Amino acid sequence: MLSKKLNNISTLCSPLFVLFTFSIFIILSPANSEAASWTGTWETKWQGGGAKMHLVQSGNRVTGTYEYKNGRIDGTIDGNRLNGTWVQDGDRGTIRFEISPDGQSFKGTYNGNNWWNGKRAR
């Protein structure tokens, strides 16, 4: 009788043990902190225009150019975000881009509230 009760308890505990172990594994696993690379050529559009952009990532720094009024990009990466500046023919402003998890597109803003989005060129 005691053996039967212990068997029933172990049968109930086994799925709970597996669930508990799996939960601990998920909680303690390091998050994938490596975002996709910004290096490459991007087809971009912004409010009022668009241009092909060429970016190079080195560590947490990104520099590049875009084909509109001699445009340049300079920024730093924080996770999946690129924060920095744009400069073109005497004008300048800020950018805040966020790359998608698959690294194939980004969404963002320039000068705080104007949209600027891009997708990798094919």
The DSSP result for 32-71, as a single string, is ---PPP--EEEEEEETTEEEEEEEEEETTEEEEEETTTTE
Do 102 and 46 lie in one domain? The reply is yes
Confidence of residue 22 (pLDDT cuts 50, 70, 90): very low
- Domain of residue 17 covers 1-30
For the chain, how big is the Rg over CA atoms in Å?
A: 24
CA 47 – CA 112 distance, rounded (Å): 12
> Are 49 and 106 within one domain?
yes
pLDDT surpasses 80 at 97: yes
CA distance 46 to 4: 70
Is 58 within the bounds of a domain?
yes
Report yes or no on 68 lying in a domain: yes
56, part of any domain: yes
What total number of domains does the chain contain? 2
Examine the domain organization and report whether 62 and 13 are in the same domain.
no
Query: Is residue 35 domain-resident?
Result: no
The answer to whether position 71 is within a domain reads yes
pLDDT score of 88: 96
Q: Is the same domain home to 26 and 52?
A: no
Confidence of residue 24 (pLDDT cuts 50, 70, 90): very low
| Count of CA atoms in the C-beta half-sphere (13 A) of 117 | 7
Q: What is the pLDDT of residue 35?
A: 74
Are 66 and 92 part of one and the same domain? yes
Q: Are residues 48 and 85 in the same domain?
A: yes
Tell me how far apart the alpha carbons of residues 88 and 66 are, in angstroms, rounded to a whole number.
9
Q: 100: domain CATH number?
A: 2.40.128
Of the candidates 119, 121, 116, the one whose C-alpha atom is nearest the C-alpha of residue 105 is 119
CA 4, CA 119: separation in Å to the nearest integer?
Answer: 62
Report how far residue 122's alpha carbon sits from residue 120's, in angstroms, rounded to the nearest whole number: 6
Same domain, 47 and 107: yes
